[in-house]
Structure 1
Amino acid sequence: MEHYFSENPKAAASERTFSALLRGNRLSFVSSGGVFSKSGIDKGTELLIEKCIMQDGWRVLDLGCGYGVVGVSIAKAFNVEVVMSDVNERALLLTGKNLERNGCTAKAIKSSGYDSLSDFKGMFDSILVNPPQKAGKKVCFRMIDDAPLFLKKRGFLQVVARPRHGGNSLAAEMQGVFGNCEKIAEKGNFAVYASMKK
Structure 2
Amino acid sequence: MANEHYFSETPAGEFTPRQVKVRIAGEDVTVTTGPGIFSPAGIDKGTAILLAEAPAPEGATVLDIGTGWGPLTLTLAKELPQARVIGVEVNERSAQLTRDNATALGLGNVEVYSPESVPADLSFDTIWSNPPIRVGKDVLHGILRTWMPRLAPGGRAYLVVQKNLGSDSLQKWLAHELESAHPGEFEVSRYATSKSFRILEVARA
Residue deviations 1:149-197, cap 9 Å, x none? 3111121221111022121222112222255222222222112111112
**Residue among 167, 178, 181 paired with 2:188:** 181
Q: Which amino acid aligns with 1:9?
A: P
- Contact map agreement 1:144 1:173 (CA 8 A) in 2: no
The superposition leaves residues 16-74 of structure 1 with CA deviations (integer Å, 9 ceiling, x where unpaired) of: 11122233222321111110011111010111223223345431111111111100012
Gap runs ≥5 in structure 2:
180-185
Partner of 1:194: 201
Structure 1 residue 85 corresponds to structure 2 residue 88: yes
Calculate the aligned-residue CA RMSD, in Å. 2.0
Aligned length: 194
Query: After TM superposition, what 4+ stretches of structure 1 lie above 4 angstroms from structure 2?
Result: none
CA 1:56–1:152 in 2, change beyond 3 Å: closer, same or farther? closer
- Distance in 2 between the 1:56 and 1:161 partners? 22
Alignment of 1:55-134 (within 5 A): 55-79=57-81, 80-105=83-108, 106-111=110-115, 115-121=116-122, 123-134=123-134
TM-score (norm 1): 0.88
Q: Which runs of 5+ in 1 are unaligned?
A: none
Kept in 2, the 8 Å contact 1:56–1:78? The answer is yes
Q: Is the 8 A contact 1:158 1:193 kept in 2?
A: yes
3-state SS in 1 of match to 2:117: coil
Identity of aligned residues (%): 29
Q: Would the aligned equivalents of 1:174 and 1:180 in 2 still touch at CA under 8 Å?
A: no
Q: Is the 8 A contact 1:157 1:194 kept in 2?
A: yes
Change (3 A) 1:120 1:65: farther
Change (3 A) 1:155 1:8: same
1:155 counterpart = 2:162:
no
What amino acid does structure 2 have at the position aligned with 1:74? Answer: L
The corresponding residue for 2:47 is: 45
Change (3 A) 1:143 1:133: same
Shift of 1:12: 3.4
CA distance in 2, matches of 1:55, 1:45: 15
